[in-house]
Structure 1
Amino acid sequence: MALSMDSVTLRPARPVPAETAPQPGASLGGSMPGYAPLAMPAQSFRKFSKSERRAWINPPATPVAARLAVYGGAAAITAYGAYQMYKVVGVSTTTLLEWVMVVLFVLTFSWIALSFTASLVGFVWLILNRHKREPLPSALTERTAVVMPIYNEAPARVFGAMQAIIEDVESTGLGEAFDYFFLSDTTDGDVWVAEERAFLAMRERMPGERIYYRRRRKNTSRKAGNIADFVTRWGGRYAHMLVLDADSVMSGDAVVRLAAAMEADPDSGIIQSLPMIVNRNTLFARLQQFAARITGPVFAAGLTAWMGRDGNYWGHNAIIRTRAFADHCGMPDLPGRPPFGGHILSHDFVEAALIRRAGYSVYMLPTLGGSYEESPPSLIDLAARDRRWCQGNLQHSRVIGARGFVWPTRQHFATGIMGYLASPLWMAQLIVGIVLVLQSHYIRPEYFTTDFSLFPAWPRFDYERALQLFALTIGILLAPKFLGLIFALIDGPTRRGSGGALALIASTFVEILVSAAMAPIMMLIQSGSVVQILSGRDTGWNPQRRDDGSIPFSSIARRHRSHALLGIVTLFAAALISPSLVLWMSPTIAGLVLAIPLSWASGQLWIGLGLKRVSLLRTPEETTPPAVVRRANALAEELAHVGRDHDDALLSIHADQAFRAVHEAFLPEKPRHRLGDVDVDLAIASLKLNDAETVEDACAWLKPKERVAVLADRGLIALLARLPSERERRGAA
């Protein structure tokens, strides 16, 4: 993993493809407004001069006290832990393996010490600021685009969520300041056509709203490229853009307050909200939902306190100054092949770093409220998403040393990288600990070395001190959860919404116990991801599974059988060495041995709903769902029943001439291709359509990519439309 910037060179900025080459005043078949292009040049990580950084209009105060408390406190705690660990192994002559143990301990201990001090500062910040809230603005003077990138999502869900957001924004009386965009990167032909149908239906339901839809022909650079495509074609229309995820829901109050905050602060580049998890019912998802609601605000407040205006961006539920983003956040491709080369996966951290480097502030409003998202429904679903995040964060090792970044930005990168390296470090620490115990039990020590000494070199440990250090580590690790619990107990609405004080306390202990059992499984999963990435294995880009529901038990067993086997082997090995070792490792061993049933249970609805019925793992948003969330859920259910999300796209286009005309109008002009270049999917689709005698033949023969090629080409659509159906063919015969 290269940490040096010396090897990082930039490819030139990619030219805008012919299909997207903006012409002022043009539009995309009526589904989008006229073009208002902004240039978005690729940025350099090797070249930057401080003279390029804009001057503050209203210079912010640096949060010196908070940073000293967080980093100074973490350094002091780490130094104390390191000293105690040295004393544990330093009773006699310290061996090389014992020094390795000390180093690994310090690395992992420093990580949790920093989390502890940040959460402690966050707790104090919340106590002091929980009642501060600015009034809603009476007017907004600048326009904001609310953009939702989508990728093979259920149209009923995303269009229902957006409609709920629009209605809630309109209820504030400031809806005229906002336009709304669905930015599709969908690659499934059936979902693509369902999106167009849902868009048309939404325009009919809300005829006065400015709602737009476009699908990219090629999803270059994934989500970052999707947003960049919007900015370079339509960004000039809007002073700000509020970026959502496909599972985002935001209240009108939150949307308007973000826009007002951006207008009031000319130095702001990105303002991030704190999304709360909603709508979750499986055991695992409700654990995440509860932890995010109770512990999340403490961590977020700690970040807000120490980072000040040098903050970070999580890629969604945040508002961005559009021109500043265009001028300074063009994503370059990194040289080399994935996983460390190519386009930048975790682009949001890098965009925050670049816009901050340019002289704009990035910060969070952790008490804003009204910002919501969803979470993966099971442990396996989280692992799939986490694999992509792992690659993106490790890829940041290529940019952490970029010129011009402020040091808090580098800390954000380091935190993200360490978040994944912590797992293999933890695993290495466990292995070294086991080897040391094995060594003390089975390897005869050399009591008298070749060096002259009057006393033997006994291999000894200070077990009492080790137990005290273990207790300290557990205390520091769990402290943020208990700080979150204390704040929730103090805050009346949170306490009542979580089922009362007793239910809140019981829920916290349930979350701690189950999360602790799952932690060793995630340690192995993340360690495996790190090894795969370091060995050059790239991750794919698959749509996330957002609905509640279980994965087949056979798939779970295959995924976790190696984890369970490792747990069983470790149990027997530890038992042969010492019963005390089994006791010391019992949390890790239990989690691994029970990996299969734990993972199975994580995705079960009935377990999550059972806990809900007895008021465990409740959150205020679950007890009294926010109005915008209730409306989004109702619309999603209604649209799923009356919509046609699962229709065959080719049959739909073939059967409905009016819809076919609209679909063709939405298509961009085909890009020019060089002579000799052949689109294989297009060519094969053309041959199959020419051979087909009925539309049913075509549907059966065309593969997924060939179906998309047909839907994207007006000539092939015409060829499809001329095919008779089986019924018509039988009637003619």
Structure 2
Amino acid sequence: MERSKAATRLARLFVFGGALLLTGYGTYEMYQVVSVSRTTILQWALVALFTVNFSWIAVAFTSALLGFLALLRQPRTAPPVPSSLDQRTAIVMPVYNEQTARTYAALEAIYEEIEATGLGSHFDYFILSDTTNSDAWIAEERAFLALRERLGPNARFYYRHRPKNYHRKAGNIADFVMRWGGAYEHMLVLDADSLMTGECITQLAAAMEADPDAGIIQTLPLIINRNTLFARVQQFAARVTGPVIATGLSVWMGRDGNYWGHNAIIRTRAFAEQAGLPDLRGKPPLGGHILSHDFVEAALMRRAGWDVYMLPDLGGSYEESPPSLIDLSARDRRWCQGNLQHMRVITAKGLKLPTRQHFATGIMSYLASPFWLFQLIVGIALVLQTTYIRPEYFARDFRLYPIWPRFDPERALALFALTMGILLAPKVFGLLLMLLRRKERRASGGAIRLTVSAVLEIILSALLAPIMMLIQSGSVFQILLGRDTGWQPQRRDDGSIPWKDIVRRHRSHTVLGALAGISAFSISTSLFLWMSPTIVGLLLAIPLSWLSGQLGAGLALKRWGLLRTPEEFRPPAIATRANELQARNAAFGFDDDDGIKALYEDANLRERHMEMLPPVAARKRGEIETDRALAEAKLVDAETIDEALHWLKHKERMVVMHDRALLNILMHLKKDRPAEAQAAE
């Protein structure tokens, strides 16, 4: 353990010491670029912004370099699969208005994998629903009952629906821990798009049993099953660069690691004792419930002395990614708010220094965009200054020549090249590793296709970067101005977004790109060329966003063998099985049916649904719940089930499905109106 701590200290010295040296050198060079003549306030501002942005990419570079060196030395041997386990683990999947065909297929595939290891008796499965859509809720119950019927009474699957999704996902997990966590030594937390092999899960459980100090052990999920252009770019980048970044993080973080909210195993007792989340003072967006709860939960457990670390070399952990740029930006907006809330957590008493660094990294991952935007604005202002501001002919030091605010173009070009090299280095490290590994190289299409794919990913990422910069900058400004975000379910399927929505979301980016291009060209050709990557990305924002969600574009590249990953060439067995089960589940039609109509037509489903409802809370006299009163009035007025379905609004439907008395009224409605009544009308 002492050697491990010493190695971790050396790794941190390498990462942060190296980043500090690089930042110092970059700052010095930038100062030399702008200090050819007298340095103005704008030039000092440019140096300051450059230092902040350069330090951010310098840390990423040194961390990735550490990961690259570690992976070069790492033997390619998989850890042994345990033959026995002593403790019990709950596998929990929180769901929120998800398609049951997908989520239940994933859970069933995971169940089959674990059973195949012979260690299935150590695992129970929980579907923890926070669903607020009435049709999705009944679809979940129908899928659950069908699953239990298929697998038999010994399958150990359980379902719970919360009437109120208090504190969202964090509250969902907390509710499970308080109700059932005491029966399980560990819980393995999934997302609705997670897949984990039986070997991976049993290895995690064995690792937790073997390490009594471990509180959380995190895996590195690889992205799979993606087909749109944008999702395939993300999938390829994550597969090539992800292991390099994750290994670097794992080496220097050591046992002061972080938690990403899913595909990780947690010691239940430690989580229950230490990871309760407080509400932040004030109102959202910076107050109230903490959205990015996973970082804070890891911080609280680490503060209590529990180890949190990652096993990046443990295979068999998978997830999916958003299918388009707009889908990513919707999820990113919520993450941005959660990470900015950490500004109020980072100074909490007792936190470990590496934990504070994790918070700082998460905060900076979003502040970097407005800092980049400010740097561009200051750069344009400086070019304006040098082009149009009159030189100072009579300086205080009585020079013989007038003073212009000038730059050193050769140093500026060299510094730009250094910056781009540091920025792209993690991608190059990942590509080199893939090229060096014969099996992965061939599974990715060979050296030529792999290299072309890497270049294509860099080009597309560069074009999308300025769009994401403006999107994230807008999110930061909105949050700092007090605008809260909602919590919408993620679109997980491949598919495009309507053209009018794309135009609405990106028209301001296009206009800004056009204005920047015209202004830069009118000021200086060199300024236009310097800003051309940003200008082109913004001008193409609408077609790029449209293309990002196109299934045809992604599948065309797939046919050509581009952006191919080893997991795509040889799909994991669990992914193939999950896709088969999803197709079967979709044929059941649960996700397409009206929930209340399904309850009306199926007496057994209705009975089981009412059995799973929580006890009715007592109502205070004189307090009338508006939605319930309206729902009851509409049910009393309705003569047929079709009338009730037509009249009941979303919230009223949820009230009916939560209320046994209203369900009984519903059941007495006729299926069709009498023929004479229809004739009279």
TM-score range, shorter chain: over 0.9
Q: TM-score, normalised by structure 2?
A: 0.98
Q: Distance in 2 between matches of 1:60 and 1:689?
A: 67
SS at match of 2:215: strand
Mapped pair 1:201 → 2:146: yes
Mapped pair 1:235 → 2:181: yes
Q: Distance in 2 between matches of 1:280 and 1:399?
A: 35
Q: Which segment drifts farther, 267-276 or 496-505?
A: 496-505
SS at match of 1:209: coil
For residue 377 of structure 1, the aligned residue among 323, 327, 349 is: 323
Q: Which amino acid aligns with 1:463?
A: P
Matches within 5 A, 1:547-562: 547-562=493-508
Offset of residue 670 of structure 1: 1.8
Q: Distance in 1 between matches of 2:368 and 2:60?
A: 13
| Cα 1:603–1:76 shift into 2, 3 Å | same
- Specify which structure has the higher proportion of helix: 2
Offset of residue 204 of structure 1: 1.2
Offset of residue 559 of structure 1: 0.7
- 1:180-238 deviation per Cα after TM superposition (whole angstroms, max 9, x unaligned): 00000000000100100000010111113100000001000000000000000000000
Offset of residue 643 of structure 1: 3.5
Counting aligned pairs with the same residue, the percent is 63
Which position in structure 2 is the counterpart of 1:78?
A: 23
Mapped pair 1:362 → 2:308: yes
Which position in structure 2 is the counterpart of 1:148?
A: 93
For residue 433 of structure 2, the aligned residue among 456, 468, 487 is: 487
Q: Distance in 1 between matches of 2:354 and 2:512?
A: 39
Offset of residue 512 of structure 1: 0.1
- 1:660-716 deviation per Cα after TM superposition (whole angstroms, max 9, x unaligned): 101100101122344443322222111111111211111001111110110011011
SS at match of 1:91: coil
Which position in structure 2 is the counterpart of 1:63?
A: 8
| Cα 1:488–1:456 shift into 2, 3 Å | same
SS at match of 1:179: strand
Structure 1 residues without counterparts, runs of 5 or longer: 1-55
Q: Distance in 2 between matches of 1:728 and 1:651?
A: 19
Q: TM-score, normalised by structure 1?
A: 0.91
Which position in structure 2 is the counterpart of 1:345?
A: 291
Q: Which amino acid aligns with 2:155?
A: E
Which position in structure 1 is the counterpart of 2:368?
A: 422
Q: Which segment drifts farther, 127-136 or 527-536?
A: 127-136
Q: Distance in 2 between matches of 1:150 and 1:519?
A: 31
For residue 635 of structure 2, the aligned residue among 664, 684, 689 is: 689
| Cα 1:653–1:155 shift into 2, 3 Å | same
Which position in structure 1 is the counterpart of 2:56?
A: 111
Offset of residue 731 of structure 1: 9.7
Which position in structure 2 is the counterpart of 1:24?
A: none
| Cα 1:580–1:214 shift into 2, 3 Å | same
Q: Distance in 2 between matches of 1:706 and 1:721?
A: 16
| Cα 1:654–1:58 shift into 2, 3 Å | farther
| Cα 1:302–1:675 shift into 2, 3 Å | farther
| Cα 1:95–1:60 shift into 2, 3 Å | closer
Q: Distance in 2 between matches of 1:732 and 1:664?
A: 33
| Cα 1:459–1:692 shift into 2, 3 Å | same
Offset of residue 655 of structure 1: 1.3
- 1:94-146 deviation per Cα after TM superposition (whole angstroms, max 9, x unaligned): 11110000000000000000000000000111122242433111110000000
Mapped pair 1:94 → 2:46: no
RMSD: 1.6
Q: Which segment drifts farther, 722-731 or 605-614?
A: 722-731
Which position in structure 2 is the counterpart of 1:175?
A: 120
Asked whether the equivalents of residues 640 and 673 of structure 2 are also in contact (C-alpha less than 8 Å), the reply is: no
- 1:582-622 deviation per Cα after TM superposition (whole angstroms, max 9, x unaligned): 11111000000011010010000110000001110000111
Q: Which amino acid aligns with 1:363?
A: Y
Asked whether the equivalents of residues 70 and 118 of structure 1 are also in contact (C-alpha less than 8 Å), the reply is: yes
Q: Which amino acid aligns with 1:293?
A: R
Q: Which amino acid aligns with 1:464?
A: E
| Cα 1:60–1:92 shift into 2, 3 Å | closer
SS at match of 1:63: helix
Q: Distance in 2 between matches of 1:60 and 1:192?
A: 48
| Cα 1:150–1:333 shift into 2, 3 Å | same
Asked whether the equivalents of residues 694 and 729 of structure 1 are also in contact (C-alpha less than 8 Å), the reply is: no
Q: Distance in 1 between matches of 2:75 and 2:294?
A: 28
Offset of residue 154 of structure 1: 0.3
Q: Which amino acid aligns with 2:642?
A: E
Q: Distance in 2 between matches of 1:496 and 1:729?
A: 70
Offset of residue 355 of structure 1: 0.4
Q: Distance in 1 between matches of 2:423 and 2:60?
A: 8
Which position in structure 2 is the counterpart of 1:42?
A: none
Q: Which amino acid aligns with 2:444?
A: S
- 1:271-320 deviation per Cα after TM superposition (whole angstroms, max 9, x unaligned): 00000001100000000000000000000000000000000000000000
What is the number of residues matched between the two proteins? Answer: 678
Which position in structure 1 is the counterpart of 2:214?
A: 268
For residue 466 of structure 2, the aligned residue among 502, 520, 523 is: 520
Q: Which amino acid aligns with 2:595?
A: A
For residue 71 of structure 2, the aligned residue among 126, 136, 152 is: 126
Which position in structure 1 is the counterpart of 2:241?
A: 295
Which position in structure 2 is the counterpart of 1:38?
A: none
Asked whether the equivalents of residues 198 and 643 of structure 1 are also in contact (C-alpha less than 8 Å), the reply is: no
Matches within 5 A, 1:459-478: 459-478=405-424
Mapped pair 1:158 → 2:103: yes
| Cα 1:58–1:697 shift into 2, 3 Å | farther
| Cα 1:250–1:98 shift into 2, 3 Å | same
Asked whether the equivalents of residues 215 and 307 of structure 2 are also in contact (C-alpha less than 8 Å), the reply is: yes
Offset of residue 624 of structure 1: 0.7
SS at match of 2:308: strand
Asked whether the equivalents of residues 563 and 595 of structure 1 are also in contact (C-alpha less than 8 Å), the reply is: yes
For residue 403 of structure 1, the aligned residue among 346, 349, 357 is: 349
Structure 2 residues without counterparts, runs of 5 or longer: none
